[in-house]
């Protein structure tokens, strides 16, 4: 089929490559405009999807908006059979959704209607969900409200991080979208089922304000928060070391099997980074100082001791 692919980050890249390998004619790729990159933002880089499209010899378009008539006319002129959308990052107006002969199809990383929106992977882990998945839906003008064609469920294991789940769901999205487009090509349609009205939740983008670890929460909630933000942007806490406050990123934890403690949240219960929480305790496993590399707890403590009774937060 003639397909327009619309995507931006690493998550979407396997789907583009899989559709190309499946023999579809990718007539164009739409991606977010190149952004400043690097520590100082001095280098402007195209998105991961943009770079793959260039390698495959596919024309790339990076409009800042698709709401003007000129962009919509250019989109229609591509005469696509279908549009495939995976983590694109722009709202698609009705004129764009209606342009492809067989519609626009989105690969979304949640079990809709749970976690509609921008950050479904992170939100599922932070909330302590034990499963999520991928859904292929026919897009409408709402926010992830379209009817669903295909679903695959994925388990979230107790220590799985957002990075690990991201890679798993990215691969599943590619497989499921290839199946969806194959069926659409051979059958000319893809049966869909409306989303239920119950169980709707929204996955708002992660804000900087919510990345700080709150040890007054339960150990389970702290653990889920840390793995939901790992490896990026990363949860963090402040530690007084060598007479100054230092921000430390926390990349891995485990629930600690400890007796009841009578100290305040954020207090070290031993010399091995077992930290009291509002309920229970947690052990810090992988930590990273600003400008440093991730370190296992033992290596971190050799350079920065955290003796029993230290309060962090």
**What pLDDT, on the 0 to 100 scale, is given for residue 123?**
98
Of 203, 224, 254, the one marking the end of a domain is 203
Region 2-15: mean pLDDT is: 98
- In which band, very low, low, confident or very high, does the pLDDT at 261 lie, cut at 50, 70 and 90? confident
Q: Are residues 32 and 137 in the same domain?
A: yes
Parallel, antiparallel or unpaired: strands 131-138 and 148-155: antiparallel
Same domain, 32 and 134: yes
- Residue 178 has a pLDDT of 98
Distance CA 155, CA 168 (A): 10
Residue 198 lies inside a defined structural domain of this protein: yes
Average pLDDT over residues 144-169: 98
pLDDT at 276: 96
Nearest to 111 by CA among 8, 205, 21, 196: 196
216 and 184 in one domain? no
pLDDT > 90 fraction of the chain, expressed in percent and rounded: 92
**43 assigned to some structural domain:** yes
Q: Structurally, how many domains does the chain consist of?
A: 2
Q: Are residues 28 and 7 in the same domain?
A: yes
Q: Are 118 and 205 in contact (CB under 8 A)?
A: yes
Radius of gyration of the chain (CA): 23
Return d(Cα 217, Cα 240) in angstroms, integer: 21
DSSP annotation of 233: T
Q: Does residue 247 surpass a pLDDT of 90?
A: yes
Q: What pLDDT shows up at residue 43?
A: 81
Model pLDDT, residue 269:
95
Q: Are residues 196 and 220 in the same domain?
A: no
Q: Tens of pLDDT along 133-145?
A: 999 999 999 999 9
- Residue 112 in marked binding region: yes
Instruction: Yes or no: say if 8 and 89 are a contact pair by the CB < 8 Å rule.
Output: yes
Would the pLDDT of 260 be above 80? Answer: no
* E strands present in the chain: 2-7, 25-30, 35-37, 43-45, 60-61, 82-86, 104-108, 116-117, 131-138, 148-155, 202-203, 235-241, 244-256, 274-276, 281-289, 295-296
60, 29 Cβ separation under 8 angstroms: yes
Question: Is the per-residue pLDDT at 199 higher than 80?
Answer: yes
Asked if 158 and 288 sit in the same domain, the reply is: no
Confidence at 37, pLDDT banded by 50, 70, 90: confident
Q: Which residue has the higher pLDDT, 306 or 261?
A: 306
Other CB atoms within a 10 A radius of the CB of residue 43 amount to: 11
Is residue 311 domain-resident?
no
Residue 83 lies in a domain: yes
Q: What is the DSSP string of 46-103?
A: --HHHHHHHHHT--EE--S-S-SHHHHHHHHTT--SEEEEES--SPPPHHHHTSSTT-
Q: Token match 């990345």: residue?
A: 211
Task: Report pLDDT digits (tens) over 52-81.
Answer: 999 999 999 999 999 999 999 999 999 999
Give 41's pLDDT tier (boundaries 50, 70, 90).
Answer: low
The arithmetic mean of pLDDT across residues 41-53, rounded, is: 90
**Could you give the CA distance from residue 23 to residue 266 in angstroms, rounded to a whole number?**
55
The predicted pLDDT at position 304 comes to 94
Domain contains 180 = yes
The range of the structural domain enclosing residue 250 comes to 208-303
Q: What is the pLDDT of residue 159?
A: 96
Mean confidence (pLDDT) of the chain: 95
CATH number for the domain including 244? Answer: 3.10.25.10
Q: Report the distance separating Cα 253 and Cα 78, nearest Å.
A: 50
Domain assignment of residue 53, yes or no? yes
With 80 as the cut, is the pLDDT of residue 221 above it?
yes
Q: Which residues contact 86 (CB under 8 A, 6 or more apart)?
A: 5, 6, 7, 11, 12, 15, 16, 106, 107, 173, 177
In a domain, residue 309? The reply is no
Instruction: Indicate if 269 and 173 belong to the same structural domain.
Output: no
Measure the CA–CA gap between 210 and 143, rounded to whole angstroms: 23
The reply to whether 183 and 224 lie within a common domain is: no
134: CATH? 3.40.50.170
* Residue 312, domain member (yes or no): no
For the cut 90, the answer to whether the pLDDT of residue 248 exceeds it is yes
175, 203, 231 — which closes off a domain? Answer: 203
- Residue 236 and residue 189 share a domain: no
Lowest-confidence segment of 4-18, 83-97, 103-117, 241-255 by average pLDDT: 241-255
Q: Flag whether 110 is marked binding.
A: yes
- The answer on 41 and 153 residing in a single domain is yes
Query: Is there a single domain that holds both residue 107 and residue 177?
Result: yes
Residues 122 and 214 in one domain: no
pTM assigned to the model:
0.95
Q: What is the dihedral of CA 173, 136, 122, 218, to 10 degrees?
A: -120
Question: Which of 167, 185, 203 is at the close of a domain?
Answer: 203
pLDDT at site 258: 76
pLDDT of residue 35: 87
CB-side neighbour CA atoms (13 Å) of 112: 27
């Amino acid at each position: 089929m003639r397909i327009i692919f619309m995507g931006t980050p690493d998550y979407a890249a396997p789907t583009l490559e899989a559709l190309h390998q499946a023999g579809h004619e990718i007539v164009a790729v739409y991606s977010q405009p190149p952004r400043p990159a690097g520590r100082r933002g001095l280098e402007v880089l195209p998105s991961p999807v943009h770079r793959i499209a260039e390698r495959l010899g596919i024309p790339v378009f990076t409009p800042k908006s698709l709401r003007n008539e000129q962009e919509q006319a250019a989109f229609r002129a591509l005469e696509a059979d279908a549009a495939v959308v995976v983590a694109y990052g722009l709202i698609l107006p009705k004129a764009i959704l209606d342009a492809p002969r067989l519609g626009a199809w989105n690969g979304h990383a949640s079990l809709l209607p749970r976690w509609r929106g921008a950050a479904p992977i992170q939100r599922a882990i932070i909330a302590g969900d034990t499963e999520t998945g991928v859904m292929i839906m026919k897009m409408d003008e709402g926010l992830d409200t379209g009817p669903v064609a295909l679903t695959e469920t994925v388990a979230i294991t107790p220590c799985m991080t957002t990075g690990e789940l991201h890679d798993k769901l990215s691969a599943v999205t590619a497989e499921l979208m290839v199946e969806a487009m194959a069926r659409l090509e051979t059958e000319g349609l893809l049966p869909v089922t409306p989303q239920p009205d119950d169980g709707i939740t929204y996955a708002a983008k992660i804000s900087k304000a919510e990345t700080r670890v709150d040890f007054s929460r339960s150990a389970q909630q702290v653990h889920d928060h840390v793995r939901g933000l790992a490896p990026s942007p990363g949860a963090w806490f402040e530690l007084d070391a060598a007479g100054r406050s230092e921000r430390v990123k926390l990349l891995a934890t485990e629930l600690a099997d400890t007796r009841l403690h009578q100290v305040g949240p954020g207090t070290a219960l031993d010399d091995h980074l077992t930290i009291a929480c509002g309920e229970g305790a947690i052990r810090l496993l992988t930590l990273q100082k600003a400008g440093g590399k991730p370190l296992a707890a033992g290596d971190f403590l050799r350079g920065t001791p955290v003796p029993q009774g230290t309060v962090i937060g």
